[in-house]
Amino acid sequence: MSSSRGPRPEYSARLEARRRAVLQHEKMFRLIGMFRLAVAVTFLLVAWLSFWSGQLSGWWLLVPIVTFLGLVIVHDRVDQKKRRALKAVTFYEDGLARIDDLWMGHGPAGEHLCDDSHLYAADLDLFGQASLFELLCTARTQS
């Protein structure tokens, strides 16, 4: 990252790349879903040809079953990639909000960490809405 450009252009570029990745994963997710539907219809057709009309052996049912199971695995992997890309989009949107000073009220306030007996905690706005904790905390899971 170039220090002369600052963080905003870099965050914006990364955000756009992650948004494009989300769109690409969504497109792939829908496409695989359509293939799964086509394989399910193929399964029904092969089942009809095997059991009711007797034109095919029942062993042919293994082809759509194995194909469907493979598509389920690939579909899940694409869904995981899409969720990771969505989390990255949120991360960079939050980062841009901090850069643009629009972060107040959007993060964890940490009010449960506030010690009322501390002399300066309230004066320094360490915890609560629009606090230092809310500005700096980028944690995604609670301890």
Task: Say what the pLDDT of residue 16 is.
Answer: 96
Report pTM: 0.70
| CA proximity to 39, closest of 89, 83, 3, 74 | 74
Residue with tokens 């052996």: 57
Task: Say what the pLDDT of residue 95 is.
Answer: 86
Residue with tokens 């007996």: 117
> What are the mean pLDDT values of the chain's consecutive 10-residue runs (143 residues total)?
73 95 98 97 93 85 96 98 95 87 67 64 64 68 61
Task: Say what the pLDDT of residue 69 is.
Answer: 97
Q: Which long-range contacts (CB under 8 A, 24 or more apart) does 127-136 make?
A: 129/104, 129/105, 130/104, 130/105, 133/108, 133/109, 134/103, 134/104, 134/105, 134/106, 134/107, 134/108, 134/109, 134/110, 135/98, 135/103, 135/107
